Amino acid sequence: MSKILSKEVVMEWILILIIFSFMSAIGNYIGYHYPFQESLYGMFILCAITLLGLIIEHHISYNIPAIIYISIIGLIVALPWSPISSTIIYYTSKVNIVSLTTILLAYAGIAMGKDLGEFKKVGLKGIIVTFFVILGTYMGSALIAQGVLMYTGMI
């Protein structure tokens, strides 16, 4: 059975995606010198794919995460035999992934700051575990990157 999806929820998603698109396009323009208009078109394409994936997730009765639908839609529209693939690839290549990450991390920081009271309730043990999780993730990523760079001969 599909979940109920209200018009208000979809409009909220659209508003968030539009704001995210503008912020990312500005980041692409300032940080990476991509043309603002082309970055914005690329972001709108990515957001349309995202919105379609979110809507599909609510209408399909299986408990599959929206990211699966979003990825499949993105792959289908970018396949070489898709009539719109060249346009999709051209505009989305004008979006730098780091500018997206910057916006997402800023949002995550704001969200965490809002829940700081809950975080304080975790106590010292939670802070220590959090520290080691972040340190382990960083060290693991650094080791993998080092190994790949050495294997490919880049360092």
C-alpha distances (whole Å) from 88 to each of 73, 83, 92, 131, 153 are 12, 10, 6, 40, 33
Report helix, strand or coil for 35. Answer: coil
- Long-range contacts of 123-126, Cβ-Cβ distance < 8 Å, separation of 24 or more: none
Q: Is residue 155 part of a domain?
A: yes
Residue 5 DSSP symbol: -
Asked if 122 and 110 sit in the same domain, the reply is no
pLDDT, residue 68, reads 94
Q: Dihedral sign, CA of 91, 96, 99, 103?
A: positive
Question: Has residue 2 been placed in a domain?
Answer: no
DSSP 59-85: HS-S---HHHHHHHHHHHHHSTTSTTH
Q: Which of 114, 93, 3, 2 is nearest to 39 (CA)?
A: 93
Query: What is the pTM for the complete model shown?
Result: 0.71
In this structure, the answer to whether residues 33 and 69 fall within a common structural domain is yes
Evaluate if residue 50 carries a pLDDT over 80. Answer: yes
Whether 1 has a pLDDT exceeding 60, the answer reads no
Tally the domains of the chain.
2
Assigned domain for 1 exists: no
State whether 109 and 37 are in the same domain. Answer: yes
The answer on 128 and 104 residing in a single domain is no
Is 58 domain-assigned? yes
Closest Cα to residue 99, out of 46, 39, 37, 24?
A: 24
Is the confidence at residue 47, as pLDDT, over 60?
yes
What residues make up the domain containing 74?
7-114
CB of 94 within 8 A of CB of 38?
yes
Instruction: Give tens-digit pLDDT for 75-100.
Output: 999 999 999 999 999 999 999 888 88
Same domain? For 80 and 93 the reply is yes
Exposure on the CB side of residue 45, measured as CA atoms within 13 A: 23
Integer Cα distance of 148 and 133 in angstroms: 22
